[in-house]
Structure 1
Amino acid sequence: MGQRKIKMEKVQDMNTRQVTFPKRRMVCSRRLASATLCNPELGIVVFSPGGKPFSYGKPNLDAVTERFY
């Protein structure tokens, strides 16, 4: 079986949203780690439903943000 196409919409149920967030966060970090073809500098900040920030950066978030200050 292949992957199904899922319509992008906000998850309304708070419990479902909190369960889904760690899965989506892991997908973001995996895709960031695999972006090595053209050696980009990337930075992502994601806030959980509870308001806790999670950051990812390549090579690291500090190196990416220093370019803008």
Structure 2
Amino acid sequence: MGPAGDPEPGIAIPAAKIELRPSFPLEVLAEPGSLDLLVERLEWFRSAAIPTPGGAHGSPGAS
């Protein structure tokens, strides 16, 4: 999102989608290691979605 909360050019996310809940029960995040795994996957997704200088992207769990 832009500085005023406006979507970036070329990105359209319907408001109805933003208001949806996760498709899994949040209780699963209470399991040991599951929150860390979710954060790891989200960090990978972000790195794959946002180009970095040099364009290096890894697979989830890759170091």
TM-score normalized by the length of structure 2: 0.35
Which is bigger in relative contact order (C-alpha 8 A, separation at least 6)? Answer: 1
Identify the structure with the greater strand proportion.
Answer: 1
